[in-house]
Structure 1
Amino acid sequence: MNFQQDMSSDAKDSPLSGFEKTLPPEEYLIKINEVRTLLGPLTEKSSEYCSDAAISRYLAARNGHVKKATKMLKETLKWRTQYKPEEIRWEEISQEAETGKIYRANCTDKYGRPVLVMRPSSQNTKSPKGQIRFLVYCMENAILNLPDHQDQMVWLIDFHGFNMSHISVKVSRETAHVLQEHYPERLGLAVLYNPPKIFEPFWKMVKPFLDPKTRNKVKFVYSDDNVSKKILEDIFDMEQLEVAFGGNNSDSSFNFEKYAERMREDDLKFFGNTTVSSTSALLNNSDSERKHMEDKEDVKIKNGDSL
């Protein structure tokens, strides 16, 4: 496989997507109402989550199929009730963030989309559950910071210093599952920046777990290739983009103390407090208890229950 062939030449196209663009407004609203009918009575919290925009994303993820979208949304509501992603606070996951392996950049792209920077080589923990919980916190935080006109975000994945020890197939599978099933149509673009040759077999392994729509949002960009670099130039104001990605902003590198302050401010702004969720009690158990939980998760994955 040639990574260059995976790159798209349509980076200038609008990142907005959704089945509503292909339907008359009346039919679009009819489908949304059909989903609401099939959902049945909801709790107050679930009702707040099921806005027209949210239902639209699930319909888009299932190509406008009402029953499939409803089933998908029901699974998300069940997951959110059990996992409580909206209750995760910075203090619970701050250890995962210390090395800057995932953080929300100070800048947005030209469409106003928040940008999550990811650096696999900065992986600093061993717990798959902790890593997924941190990712969920980052997703929830990025969503809360979306402008009114935007539903999606951009990922910038920096492969500097990367080797295969930095990536877990298990975590990658669970990441793909959580993002595709519970955050549909939230990814506008994922830029893989300077992935090394050794990443190729891993990409081949992960691709089958991604739906075609998601795979098409993944772009490979190389600093020594002018054609692929144009993807970044079309999407970003290069004056705001980090130097690490070929931009001109030398003041935007990750600083944990400053970032922690930003996240605490966000927790306070959006939730009024920084109380750690009750679920964190499970994650802060002794090492032996955590290992036991992870071993059980391994068995589930081997049995095909995870996805």
Structure 2
Amino acid sequence: MTTQTSISSKMQPRPNYAKITPEREIALKQVWANLLHLWGVPLDASEAYSDRRLSAYSSHTSAVSEKDSKEKKKGGWFGFGGGSSKSEGDGKPGAPLEATTSTDPDQVYKYEKGVVHPALQGMDGKLVEQEFWDMLRVDPPDSMVWRFSSARKFDSHKATKMIARTFKFRTKRNLKEVLDLGEKDVFAKKEEGVMLNFKQQKAVIVGRDLKDRPFILVRPKFHHAGDQKEEDIEKFALIVIEIVRLHMRTGYTSIIFDLTDFGLSNMDYAPVKFLISCFEAHFPESLGCLLIHHAPWLFSPIWNIVKNWLDPVVASKIIFTKNLDELTRYVSKEAVPKYLGGENDFDLDNYVAPDGSHDEKLKDTEARDALLEIRAELIAKFKELTVQWIETGDSDKSTELWEQRIAIGQEITNNYCELDQYVRSRSYYDINGSLQL
């Protein structure tokens, strides 16, 4: 039997961005240069944009990607077939990568020193920079850039476009404020639709899978489209995603869609589309796997529609499980909730909304400001090292600077772990002890 065990983000291993190939390093340098130009940081990235190793690497990964894509379309998943995203900038497999020229039909990009990347033009550099450092939370800066770059197969132009769209998405939805104010604010403002989703625990973080990834348990049987507005379910989903990011540090999260007692009245395509778009476009390389558990026969025609919305990379992470034995191939019996036959006694029936009584440290502005000052110094040092790293043409020096940046990036993460309690209202998970930074 398990109790409310901690699923601290500190347990999560660092992703493989710490071990980087020279070709991928070039692509990351280019993305960082694009960001720094927008932020008004003087630098010359001509060296990074003239390195031809990326072109050779690109032609190889392009061929591999095309081959993988064809195999996925042929084989499908558990007999359900394949699918692909039709969204803008979907990073189609097989698209060649160029160090200086984008292959996008709508845009040819050639680097010019000091010129802001087309995807970032017209954006407020100061606001975007603040959004970038705020959105990290417990993700080191290189990990964040790595996620977007990896999602676009290290095409720096496409990765920059993707990041630009995410900046717009986050600022439009005020995600920093939404997470900092948290559930307490939702209940204080009596946002009935969002409140209902929390009370039902329609999506709840209950443990870790066998790869030590926090998992979100989603229970569609509680969902009825008419019970809340579309924007309510979207806000609820974003709060849950942002909170699970605090659990996973630089790793990944998993999702279990439990379709027990699922009926056609529970089906609502809009939030499904929204969730897919979030993980594909705005939280890339964050999804470890998505388990669809105990799907009834009536789910088959629904799946035939949904699968066509999926990017092949996301689709490849979907696994269907029918019973406890199959589920425990991915999640230990100790972590599986009791109602599914496991031993996890996480209280899924009683949600206690935070009321602000655990937020006393939000008033300690002196401690907050001291940590923010340290953070600003770390960020300044990180940017200084990043400029040197981008501009150097010496491989040994580049490796040395990369490692120094990784170390400073981890310090920025550690700084946020200390800062968190002074800027973010305590969530249900902080209060019950399952989230510890």
Range into which the TM-score falls when normalised by the shorter chain:
0.7 to 0.9
User: Residues 145 and 24 (structure 1 numbering): CA distance in 2 closer, same or farther, change over 3 Å?
Assistant: closer
5+ residue gaps, structure 1: 1-14, 276-307
Whole-Å Cα distance in 1 between the matches of residues 247 and 351 of structure 2? 20
- Relative distance call for 1:144 and 1:202 in structure 2 (3 A) is same
The residue aligned with 2:85 is none
Counterpart for residue 235 of structure 1: 330
Partners in 2 of 1:219 and 1:135 — Cα distance?
Answer: 21
Q: What whole-Å deviation, never above 9, does each CA across 1:44-70 have from its counterpart, x for those lacking one?
A: 323414711011111111122111111
**Which residue, 111, 132, 145 being the options, matches 1:55?**
145
1:234-274 per-residue CA deviation (whole Å, 9 max, x = no partner) reads: 3322123212333223x22414334x349986997546454
2-side partners of 1:79 and 1:27: how far apart? 30
Q: What amino acid is aligned across from residue 203 of structure 2 in structure 1? A: I
1:156 matches 2:256:
yes
2:242 corresponds in structure 1 to: 140
Tell me the residue number matched to 1:298.
none
How many residue pairs match? The answer is 250
Native 8 Å contact 2:201 2:351 kept in 1: no
Residues 70 and 265 (structure 1), Cα distance of their counterparts in 2 relative to 1, 3 Å cut: farther
Give structure 2 stretches of 5+ with no counterpart: 1-11, 40-125, 187-193, 363-419, 427-437
What SS class does the counterpart of residue 192 from structure 1 fall into? strand
| Gap change, CA 1:262 and 1:73, over 3 Å in 2 | farther
Q: What's the offset of the Cα at 1:184?
A: 0.8
Identify the residue that residue 122 of structure 1 maps to in structure 2. 222
| 2:300 is aligned with 1:200 | yes
Q: Which residue of 2 aligns with 1:46?
A: 131
CA contact (8 A) 1:159 1:194 kept: yes
In the superposition, the TM-score normalised over structure 1's length comes to 0.72
Q: Is the 8 A contact 1:189 1:219 kept in 2?
A: yes
- Which residue of the other structure, out of 319, 329, 350, is the alignment partner of 1:256? 350
Structure-to-structure mapping, 1:17-36, within 5 angstroms? 24-36=20-32
Distance change (3 Å), C-alpha of 1:120 and 1:29 = same
Residue pair 1:223, 1:246 contacting (<8 A) in 2 also: no
Compute the displacement of 1:24 (Å).
4.8
- Answer whether contact 1:142 1:153 (CA < 8 A) is retained: yes
Q: Residue 73 in 1 paired to residue 168 in 2? A: no
1:189 deviates by 0.8
- TM-score, normalised via structure 2 length: 0.52
* Offset, 1:98: 1.1
Q: Tell me if structure 2 keeps the 8 A contact 1:32–1:56.
A: yes
The letter of the residue matching 1:163 is G
State how far apart, in whole Å, the 2-side matches of 1:178 and 1:264 are: 32
RMSD: 3.0
> Structure 1 residues 264, 86: CA separation in 2 closer, same or farther (over 3 Å shift)?
farther
Which protein is bigger by CA-based radius of gyration? 2
Paired residue type of 2:298:
I
Sort the Cα spacing of 1:75 and 1:201 in 2 relative to 1 into closer, same or farther, 3 A: same
Rounded to whole Å, the distance in 1 between the matches of 2:334 and 2:247 is 22
Q: Deviations for 1:99-153, whole angstroms, at most 9, x for unmatched residues?
A: 1211111x21233211111000112533111101100000000001224xx4210
Residues 83/271 of structure 1: CA separation in 2 closer, same or farther (3 Å cut): farther
Change (3 A) 1:273 1:185: closer
Q: 1:240 to 1:47 in 2, by over 3 A?
A: closer
